[in-house]
Structures are given as C-alpha cells and as structure tokens.
Amino acid sequence: MSRSFPRQLVVFRTGVFYRRYSFLLQCILGVLVALLLARIGLALRLDLVILSLLFLLLTVVFAVRCGFWQASVFAGSGILCLTYLPSPPAFLLHLATPRNGIAFIIFELTALVVSRVSAKTKAYAAESEIQRHRTQHLHAVSHNVLLLNLQDSPERQIAEFIQQEFELDAVAIVTRLPDSVGAAGMWAREEEATIEERLRTLAATQSEISGISKRALLSAKGPIGALLILGDTPPLVLDSLASLAALALERHRASINESAAQAARKTEQLRTTVLDGLAHAFKTPLTIIRVASSGLLEAGHLDEVQHQLTQMIDEQAERLDELTNRLLETARVEGENMCLQLETVDVPALIHEVVQEFRSESPDLANNFTGSPAINIEIDGIPAPVAADYEMIASTLKELLSNAVKYSTIGSPITISLSETPYELTLSVQSHGAVIRMEDRDRIFERFYRGLNHRHAAPGTGIGLSVARRVTEAHGGHIWVTSSEEAGTTFHLSLPTRDEVLAGTKG
C-alpha cells in the first residue's frame, strides 16, 4: 500500500504535466524526428525523392496523431533539413529555390487536409461514443420502468431512474390525473409540501426557466403531465425521456385498471356462485311451504282468519318461488361462460307462442285489467330465421312483455313488431305510460336498478332487464329503449341474421 501510493502520485503528476505541455512536447518531438531522419538520409546517402516521401509520410502521421500545427512544425523542420543537409552545396541554406518552396507548400497542404479529416473523424467518433452512452442510459431507464412497483408512486420511481442513470441534479414528474408529484435528486431532499407546490407551478408555467428543462408528457388522450429536469440534457435525450415516462405512466395505469378489472370479475363470479347456491338452497323449503299451505287450503276446516293467514303464506311463498327462479336464471346468464343452445329460430312463431303462453299464465295481467286483449302483433313479410337459444329469447321477450303490461296505462294497447335489415332482426315492444327519463335509459338495464318514476309503480325484482341485456349480448345483439310522450315507451331487441342459417333453411 505504501509503495503503490507514491507510484500513483507520480503517474498522476506525469499525466497532468503532459496534458499541460503536450503541444510543446509534440513540436519538440517533431523537430527531433526531422533532424534524425535527415541525418539518417545523409548517412545512408538516400535519394532526395525517397527522403521527401518519408518526410511526407511522417507529416501525415503527425497530422493524424497530433494536429495541424504540430504537423506544420514537423513539415517546416523537414524542409529546412532537406535544404540544409543533403542538398548540394551541403550545409548551406538556400530556401529561395522554387523546388523547396513548392515542397514546403505541398507538406503544409498535406498536413492541413489530413489534420482536418482527422479532426472530423475524431469528432464524429467522440459524438458516436457520446450517443452510445446516451443510448445505453436510455435503454437502462426503459428497462427499469418495466419493473415498476405497482404499490409505490410511479412518478417518484421514474424520476429516480432518470436522475441516477444520467447523473442529473434533480428530476421531477408532475401528473394531472391523478394529481401527483414525484421528485429525485436535490428536489427530493427539500420539504415535501413546499417542493410539490413549486414543481406544480413550474410545470404549469409556459415560460422557460434558466437551468430547468421541461417537456410535456403526452398520451393518446392528450397531455397527462410534465417532466422537469435540472441539469444539462440535450433536447433529443429530453424528448426521449419524456416519451419513456409517458409510456411508463400509461402502462402503470393500465396495469392498475387491469388488476381492478380482474378483481371485479372475480368478485362478480363469486357473487354469481353464491347467488346460485342460495337460490338452490331456497327451492326445497319454499316447495315444502307451498305444498303445506296449498294442502291446508284444500283440506278446509279453517276459520276465516286461519284461511286468510294460510292464503297469505301461500301467496308470499309463490312470490318467493318466482324470485328464486329469477335468481337462478340470473346466475345462469351472468356466469363467466354462458352456454347457448343455438338452433334455427322462426322469430314470428316464437312471438305468437310467447304471447299465447303469457295470456294463458296471467289472463288478468295479459288483458291489462280490462277484460279485452290489448297485445297486438305487427309483422311485415316473412323475416329470415336466426340462430339463437330459443328458451332464452322467449324468456327475454316475456320479460319485455311483462314490463310493458306492468308499467303501461290501463286500457292502452301493447304492440309487438318485427323489422328486418340485411344484417339483423329487430323485435320491438311498445307501450304507453310514464316516460322513462333520459338519464335512466341506460341504467334500467343494470341489476336491481329501477327508475325514479317507476320505483313504486309495480312490484318486481329489478333484475329482469339486466338478464335481458346479458342474453341479448350473448347472442351478439343489443337492447335499448326509446321513450316519449307521443310515441310511448319502446324496448328494442336486435339479433344478427346468420347466412348459414338462411342457407340451411333454403336447403
């Protein structure tokens, strides 16, 4: 250890001395080499042409290795040596001869051209080396941002990666949504509340601030924040860092949203499983209650109060049984993988069958409490069949028909119509009643939601329309509602036509 330190000190001092006096040392070296070469040429009696070529070659070497002025000194020394030593009369200076002047000019031009080319080559190599290092740092930053900790602030992590890789004084990232600030370097050591406010002000200002470089963080939806850097950073590198930071923030947010969506899907799947289990568990006791209440009513021997209580039990058990069936149906259609039993369905025939079944199951409701049929069917032409699950589509139509009867004005007609385009069939159920508000027209298809105007108008579970939408979407169609005072309320259900079904029907 004690011996190596003085040696390192000597090497260090030697390096400092050489850098300080390198130009003088190189000029002295050039003069000495010129003298040595001239003496060798004189001793070996070399031809003047050969000796001149050797001097020209060394001039090129000095121009490449040292520079223009050092090569000029060597070239001048060489001209003097060629003139003074080997040329007759020997050891006499006669620079005025044209030959020597031309040789000196040629040497100088050679040194100038070669030194300029060498300088450009060295500058290009130095710039390439700088660019290579910058590219390595950018690659390191891009690699690090792929490993962001989802539980920590992405702004602070990205700022630290940039500050450490490029050895900057300070780096900060300010984002809008959510409103967050991440800092590294000297900014990270300042008081948090003070520096956050100052960085937000710097990000919001439009004017340039001395010593601080700023770039906007842009995403597909527009600006999402700003990158602030305190330190010398080339514009191209600054643009690249801003792009990397914006992409990393977007990726981080996408990962967070994906995790939330996966959690929501798992929660929904668990809810559906629990719902299905509870519904099945309720079926057996409800069946026993209904059988017992119906048996008591049939057996008789009940006084008036007992009869009313037993009838109430029977009615509520029937309602609970209907609700359980709805819950089972909901669990079936809202499961993660809903299985459709596709077949060729004649939609007009399905409509007539559903209406007939609806009238027979609920005669009072189907007749709208008036004693006369109020359900009209309007079908133009012969619509093409569709590939669908017959039971599910029939259940969906029955739900739309039941809603129309419940919420329509007593005595007003209900119209079921069917229209066709080259790509789909649209089934519509129209009724006249209270208008559905614009803000409710999408939400009524959500589970358990009921519009403000219809919340207490009729009994119901609030899940029928959500099931209808799920069934329609599973078939590749869509469902929506229109409502106005003049045209009434109409639920539209579209189903895509299938070319293979048409071909099979014609065959």
Say which residue the tokens 């090129």 belong to: 60
Q: Which of 353, 409, 361, 346 has its CA nearest to residue 377?
A: 353
Once rounded to an integer, what is the mean pLDDT over residues 469-490?
A: 88
Extract the tokens encoding 401.
């028909």
The pLDDT of residue 202 is above 60: yes
- Which of the pair, 282 or 289, is modelled with greater confidence? 289
Residue bearing tokens 């027209």: 441
Supply the DSSP string of 451-487, one letter for each residue: -GGGTTTS---S-HHHHHHHHHHHTT-EEEEEEETTT
Contact 496, 386 (CB under 8 A): yes
Answer with the residue of higher pLDDT: 365 or 119: 119
Return mean pLDDT, the chain.
Answer: 76
Q: What is the pLDDT of residues 113-130, one digit of tens each?
A: 777 777 777 778 778 887
**Tens digits of per-residue pLDDT, 37-78?**
877 877 777 766 677 777 777 877 777 777 777 777 777 777
pLDDT over 70 percentage in the chain:
74
| Model confidence band, residue 366 (pLDDT cutoffs 50, 70, 90) | very low
Q: Which two tokens stand for residue 12?
A: 């260090």
Q: Indicate if the pLDDT at residue 377 is higher than 60.
A: yes
Local structure of residue 442 (DSSP, 8 states):
T
Single out the residue of 109, 101, 111, 97 nearest to residue 79, CA to CA.
101
- The residue-averaged pLDDT of 368-377 equals 60
Domains of the chain: 4-134 (no CATH), 149-254 (3.30.450.40), 261-333 (1.10.287), 342-506 (3.30.565.10)
Mean pLDDT of 386-395: 87
Residue 459 has pLDDT above 50, yes or no: yes
For residue 342 the two structure tokens come to 């596709």
State the Cα–Cα distance between residues 142 and 446, nearest whole angstrom. 42
DSSP 222-289: EEEEEEEEES---HHHHHHHHHHHHHHHHHHHHHHHHHHHHHHHHHHHHHHHHHHHHHHHHHHHHHHH
- Is the confidence at residue 491, as pLDDT, over 90? yes
Separation between Cα atoms, residue 326 and residue 342, nearest integer Å: 22
Which of 493, 504, 502 has the alpha carbon at shortest distance from 383?
A: 502
Kindly indicate the confidence band of residue 501, based on its pLDDT and cuts at 50, 70 and 90: very low
Least confident of 4-8, 22-26, 185-189, 420-424: 4-8
Is pLDDT at 81 greater than 60 in this prediction? Answer: yes
pLDDT of residue 453: 56
CA 226, 227, 232, 233 torsion: positive or negative? negative
Per-residue confidence band for 314, with pLDDT thresholds at 50, 70 and 90: confident
User: What is the spatial distance between Cα 213 and Cα 134, in angstroms, rounded to a whole number?
Assistant: 17
Its pTM stands at 0.44
Longest dimension (CA), the chain: 158
Radius of gyration of the chain (CA): 46
Mean pLDDT of 269-288: 69
Encode pLDDT of 405-455 as tens digits: 888 887 788 899 998 887 888 999 999 888 888 888 888 888 767 665 555
**Sheet with 424-431: strands ordered across:** 375-379, 414-420, 424-431, 488-496, 478-484
Q: Which residues contact 311 (CB under 8 A, 6 or more apart)?
A: 293, 297
Q: What was the pLDDT predicted at 493?
A: 92
Q: Which residue has the higher pLDDT, 80 or 472?
A: 472
Greater model confidence, 506 or 205: 205
Q: Identify the pLDDT of residue 96.
A: 43
Residues 6+ apart with CB under 8 A from 344: 385, 386, 387, 501, 504, 505
pLDDT, residue 372, reads 42
User: Which of 134-143, 246-255, 263-272, 422-431 shows the highest mean pLDDT?
Assistant: 422-431
In the prediction, which pLDDT does 90 show? Answer: 45
Query: What pLDDT band is residue 506 in, cutting at 50, 70 and 90?
Result: very low
Amino acid 417: pLDDT: 92
Confidence of residue 395 (pLDDT cuts 50, 70, 90): confident
The predicted structure's pLDDT at residue 270: 64
> What mean pLDDT is predicted for residues 192-200?
76
